[in-house]
Amino acid sequence: MVLDTPTDKRKRRTHTAVLDAGGTLFLAHGYRGTTIEMLAAAADVAVSSIYANFGAGKVDVYAALAWRTALDHVEQMTAPFGAVQPAHVVAESLDRYIAFHRDNPLALRLLGLTDVDRSESDSVVEAKGKIDAALGGLVDSVTRAVTDAGADVDPRALVLNAWAGMNGAVSLRQRRIVDQPMLDAMLAITRADMLRHLKGASDETR
């Protein structure tokens, strides 16, 4: 499958190199501004090798990169937490979410499959389903922590509202409407606003 890392060592090397190149080029030039030739050159592979691994070409590279990004996001968000108290787990989840998007400026577009259309490749359809399920699992996980901590509003709505606020702030940064210090300030406000609704949150947590 296009989205999965191949088990064959040579194909896995090509798959990884092309996705790494895609991440760099899509960020620097945009999806539309990146050509299959640019991908091949950056990955140090032949154009034919890209099509051998990604049948629909650039759109399949994008879909596979989006899925790899989702897996990285899940791994970071579900790694063992240092916190034990539910409110502290929620706070750490927010911090990890913010850190992930700060370290991966293309992630928001990739996870939303913003630059491609499902009609372009079956891989886009598959990636959307898998990504939606993965992100839904993260929402469920944080919602459970919010429920355990106790909240004065609906826990799931609180989580989704916070994520929407953070995603919106990241989107403004990507569009260069705000600079990095303003983004950091906006994310801090969203974080604090969410934690204020938790019954178990302390001033230190906030």
Contact present, 157 and 142 (Cβ < 8 Å) = no
- Domains of the chain, start order: 58-195 (1.10.357)
pLDDT at 97 > cutoff 60: yes
Contact present, 31 and 62 (Cβ < 8 Å) = yes
Tens digits of per-residue pLDDT, 118-164? 999 999 999 999 999 999 999 999 999 999 999 999 999 999 999 99
CA separation for the pair 149, 132 (Å, rounded) = 26
CA separation for the pair 25, 185 (Å, rounded) = 29
pLDDT of residue 4: 87
Tens digits of per-residue pLDDT, 41-81? 999 999 999 999 999 999 999 999 999 999 999 999 998 88
Question: 155-174 and 86-103 are packed helices; what angle lies between their axes, rounded to 10 degrees?
Answer: 20
> Residue 200 — very low, low, confident or very high, per pLDDT cuts 50/70/90?
low
pLDDT of residue 203: 53
Q: Is 205 helix (H, G, I), strand (E, B) or coil?
A: coil
Q: What are phi and psi of 95, to 5 degrees?
A: -65, -40
